Amino acid sequence: KLATKTAQALNEQVELEAASSQYYLAMASWAEVQGYNGIAQFLYRHSDEERVHMLKLIHFINDRGGHGIVPALKQPDLEFRNIHDIFEHVLTHEILVSTEINKLIDLCLQEKDYTTHTFLQWYVTEQIEEEKMARQILDKLKLIGEDKGGLYIFDRDMGTMRTED
């Protein structure tokens, strides 16, 4: 059975994944309104994936005898300066999520909770992918700079770009 302390820490991660989903949803909606439909589609998909990350945690907590707590919704930032700004936010956010996952791993080791430790490996791998993807996108955006044609093609390609899950 999950220790109360671990269940609490996992529920904080539930909240962070839910907040991530909301955050990407706000970015998607902003991008769509600005006419960046491909980027919007990418961000809508990313938002859905964050919800899946949240659900995986809830199921795990419940399967281990805890109670997965559905958090309240907080309004995320709604306005962004431009597409570069969006993906800077994505990278900063994913680095924050990775830090939190590492803290959870640390707690599992302290508590000798190897079951939760194993469960969390999926998130460790996922975070490597998410950070990598955000960095690659930012590199592309740096190359594009202010070039409108480049941004147009980038937007089109993002519509079909795979997100991990």
Residue 136 labeled ligand binder: no
Q: Does 155 bind ligand OFO (CB under 6 A)?
A: no
CB 54 within 8 A of CB 108: no
Nearer to ligand OFO, 6 or 20 (CB): 20
Residue 67: CB minimum distance to ligand OFO, A: 21
Near ligand OFO in 104-143, by CB under 6 A: 126, 130
Residues making up the annotated binding site are 17, 50, 53, 94, 127
Q: Which residues are annotated binding-site positions for Fe cation?
A: 17, 50, 53, 94, 127
Residues contributing to the site for ligand OFO (CB under 6 A): 17, 20, 50, 53, 94, 97, 126, 130
